[in-house]
Amino acid sequence: MRIGLLLWILFFLSPSLTWAQAPPTPQQLAQARGTSNEVPMFGGQPKTPEQRAADQQFIATALQQHGTAQAAAHVYTNFGWGYLQQGSPVVAIKRFNQAWLLDSTLADVYYGFSAWQQPTNPTEAERLRRLGQRHDANNQALIRYYSSLAYGQSLRRDYAGALATNAQILALDAHHAFANGRAGFWYMQQQDTARATDYLTRAIQLNPRDSVAFLNRGWVRYGQKRYTAAIADFTAAARISPRYITAYANRALANTEAGNYAAAVADNEQCLQLVPPRDKGQFYRTIGMLKLWLHDTAGACTAFSQALNWGDTPAAEREIRKLQKENCR
């Protein structure tokens, strides 16, 4: 129902970086773990001719696929962040190193290495972060770095930590629409509706095409039983993104609570046009209930039959059959 963001970052070797490590032995190169591609920038270790040839082949393939070294590096950094946020640091560092092979002059690369290093060596992580800042004159890569860190914290439901990291973005750019929207959502997760509303409203002011901010503010208002205001926000979200099923589903809930049963039926019918077949049953069941409340028994019975045809949960199907027995002749 919400949107979350994965950011993808690159990294590169600075001529000033040196690592006092011995070259890898053949045995180390054969190991699945603990090899030189499992430390930032390959640990500064010399590579064998075979490894260098493999690197060149990788670079050539990446350039063919993505056009430029920078674009390709962003893609592989993105992979690194994804694996890091999924709790797979061994795979993450390999993707970060591949990105570094492609572009060693992007600030995002050092920030990616820094995030990977932080849990085990905060001092080295800080050094890498500062190296990133040397290549980040306008702080845009730093904003992406904080955004990725905050998203990772939110995946662990550390919303307080995510908000604190997100605040670093807003300190750099108070008009960052996406960061304002995220702050609103994470305050919403903490049941702080006042701050959630403030940040979501700010996000909408900064980006009137932000359908997610409209959706989330609508959900806050729904929880406050401000159904008319919630319906307006869900309507705005659907207008911006016509295939945004959550906007229609949420508006159906708000219309139902407001007693607008006919409008709720229309919203659920719109959802039927967008959901996969496995989910159609629950929407037909809801339509059947709404039509009963509208005293449209024939329409309700038709909807209940459709719900059973498409399938629902066992408990829901038992309830549908009970309603059919009571209302359908």
Mean pLDDT of the chain: 88
Using DSSP, state whether 160 is helix, strand or coil: helix
**Strands, E, within the chain: which ranges?**
none
Q: What is the pLDDT of residues 269-305, one digit of tens each?
A: 999 999 999 999 999 999 999 999 999 999 999 999 9
Q: What is the pLDDT of residues 86-137, one digit of tens each?
A: 899 999 999 999 999 999 988 898 899 999 999 999 999 999 999 899 989 8
Contacts of 311 (CB under 8 A, 6+ apart): 278, 281, 317
Closest CA to 9 of 183, 123, 129, 120: 129
pLDDT of 18 > 80? The answer is no
Closest CA to 5 of 132, 174, 182, 175: 182
Label residue 18 exposed, middle or buried (CB < 10 Å: 0-12, 13-18, 19+).
exposed
Using DSSP, state whether 317 is helix, strand or coil: helix
State the Cα–Cα distance between residues 217 and 238, nearest whole angstrom. Answer: 13
Q: What pTM does this model have?
A: 0.78
Confidence label for 35 from pLDDT (cuts 50, 70 and 90): low
Mean pLDDT of the 61-81 span: 93
Contact 189, 158 (CB under 8 A): no
Helix (H) or strand (E) holding 65: helix 49-66
Mean pLDDT of the 5-29 span: 31
Structure tokens at 124: 């080295």
Please report where in the chains the tokens 């390709």 appear, as a residue: 72
Q: What is the pLDDT of residues 169-186, one digit of tens each?
A: 999 999 999 999 999 999
Mean pLDDT of the 235-263 span: 98
pLDDT of 6 > 80? The answer is no
Per-residue burial over 220-241, b if 16 or more Cβ lie within 10 Å, else e, is bbbeeeebebbbbbbbbbbebb
State the Cα–Cα distance between residues 193 and 217, nearest whole angstrom. Answer: 9
For position 3, what pLDDT does the model report?
Answer: 32
State the Cα–Cα distance between residues 264 and 286, nearest whole angstrom. Answer: 9
Backbone φ and ψ of 223, nearest 5°: -60, -25
Query: Between the CA of residue 36 and those of 87, 94, 102, 113, 221, what are the distances in Å?
Result: 20, 10, 17, 14, 53
